[in-house]
Each structure stands twice: as C-alpha cells, then as structure tokens.
C-alpha cells in the first residue's frame, strides 16, 4: 500500500465469480449495491469518510499492478476500470449502467479476486483542537464495526486508538493536561505494511482524557489516519508480505520433472 487512505473493511466481501467465464468477473449491480451499503453505513459519522471498493488477489505473487478490469456495456467498446496503487476501484455510479447491469471482467483466473467495500477515517487538520474531537472516531468506528458484524460482533476486532501517519515532516501532538503537557513526537513506523519513510504518532484511547477533554495541538496535519487495533489484529496486519496467507498461483507452478510439456 502506498498512498494510504486508511481503510477499515466492512463485512462486505464478495468474489469475482458470478458469470460463466474462465476469468474472474462480477456484475455491475453487485458492486454498485456493495458501495451503496458501505456509504449508508457511514451516514451520520462525521469522522468517517467516503466509502470505496478495494480489489485484491488471493493468489501468491499477484499484485495490484497485475490486475486489470474492464466493463463491457452493450453495443459499446469496453471501458477500462483502473485500480489505484492500493487497489481502490472508482466505480462510475450511473443509473443507466445500473439498469443495463454490464459485466465487469478481469484478466485474472476465476475465483482468484476478492473485492471489499470499505470506509476511511478523515484526517484532522493542524493546529489547536480538543482530545474529544481528535478521538471521537474511535467510538464511532467501533459502533460501526459492531453494527455491521451483527451477531458476530463478539468476534469482531476492536479499535483501541488511532495512528496518525506523516510523510517525512517532523510532527508533534501535544495534550495539555492539568498535570502538564504530554508531547508525542512522530517516530519511525514499526509496521511492515507502511512505506519506509512513514512517520507515525500512536494515540491509545483514554476514557479519562475523553471525559476531561483537554486541549490538544497538532503541529502538522497527518496525511492519513489508520485504526490502532487490538494487539492480535495488529500482529496479523504486520505479517511480512512473504508470510501472508495466499493460494498457489497456477502461473508460477514449477515444471514437473516427469512432464514432457512442463505442465502439472
């Protein structure tokens, strides 16, 4: 992930496999409905941003740059649907397309792609604010997670704070308490899923500070915000790319020593 619009995926995941085709494919209306549901889920939550769709491969060694999508409207040339560096898909929201419901095809094998509807945190601005304004997103996103998880909310991950991301700029977050100022400096990120030049400030949610609501000062506006999850979830997120669970990629099979064609 490069430009991190930090996303927290909802319980809206579907495979690209709805059509009788050897390539991964999905209908327009299914993606449209997923996006609408995600957008509706964030209604009324002022610290939650615009929903988006994210495409990922379940195959080992397949990156976002390897995935190409195109939509095939009836009687018209195919329309390319490019993905951003982090896998975001900007789906055109068009009532005419919804009525027509064209097929969206990929260049990847059937059952190898997944798409999730997700939302993002809205980064705060630089300057003076309050602890409650800064950390309200924690309660809002936990409410959203449990609402979407429904009966499975007991097993849902919990957001324990926020991680503010900065790119190279020196940054400080100062919390002005009656006992004195608490100053946090942006430091090197320990997370392998972030770019190497990312600097972070981690703020764990504190109920007492939320109640007393001290003034805070942020020297630089963060480029993005991501959730500080429970330790178990953060450990899974920080798994080295080579150790992440994936399915064997047929295109990367080692030729069989007994095969004349080199195919298994």
Express each pLDDT in 173-223 by its tens digit: 999 999 999 999 999 998 887 888 899 999 999 999 999 999 999 999 999
Query: 87-110 burial string, b = 16+ CB within 10 Å, else e?
Result: bbbebeeeeebeeeebbbbbebbb
Higher pLDDT, 148 or 9: 148
Express each pLDDT in 232-263 by its tens digit: 878 877 764 444 567 777 665 443 332 222 22
Express each pLDDT in 146-156 by its tens digit: 766 665 556 56
Q: What was the pLDDT predicted at 154?
A: 61
Query: Is residue 222 within 8 Å of residue 166, measured between CB atoms?
Result: yes
Q: What does the angle CA 210 – CA 143 – CA 118 come to, to the nearest 5 degrees? A: 115
Sheet with 23-27, side-by-side order of all strands: 23-27, 103-109, 69-72, 79-80
């Amino acid at each position: 992930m490069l430009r991190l619009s930090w996303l927290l995926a909802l319980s809206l995941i579907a495979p690209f496999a709805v059509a009788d085709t050897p390539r991964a494919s999905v209908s327009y209306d299914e993606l449209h409905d997923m996006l609408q549901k995600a957008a509706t889920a964030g209604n009324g939550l002022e610290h939650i941003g615009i929903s988006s769709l994210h495409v990922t491969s379940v195959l080992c060694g397949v990156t976002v740059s390897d995935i190409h999508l195109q939509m095939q409207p009836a009687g018209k040339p195919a329309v390319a649907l490019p993905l951003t560096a982090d896998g975001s898909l900007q789906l055109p929201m068009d009532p005419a397309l919804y009525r027509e419901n064209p097929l969206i095809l990929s260049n990847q094998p059937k059952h190898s792609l997944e798409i999730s509807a997700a939302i993002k945190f809205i980064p705060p601005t630089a300057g003076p604010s309050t602890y409650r304004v800064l950390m309200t997103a924690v309660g809002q996103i936990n409410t959203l997670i449990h609402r979407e998880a429904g009966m499975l909310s007991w097993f849902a991950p919990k957001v324990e704070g926020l991680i503010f991301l900065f790119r190279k700029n020196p940054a400080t977050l100062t919390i002005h308490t009656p006992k004195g100022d608490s100053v946090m400096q942006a430091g090197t990120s320990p997370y392998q899923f972030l770019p190497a030049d990312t600097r972070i400030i981690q703020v764990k949610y504190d109920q007492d500070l939320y109640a007393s609501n001290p003034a805070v000062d942020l020297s630089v506006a963060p480029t993005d915000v991501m959730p500080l999850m429970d330790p178990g979830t953060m450990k899974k997120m920080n798994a080295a790319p080579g150790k992440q669970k994936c399915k064997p990629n047929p295109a990367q099979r080692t030729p069989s020593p007994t095969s004349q064609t080199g195919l298994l």
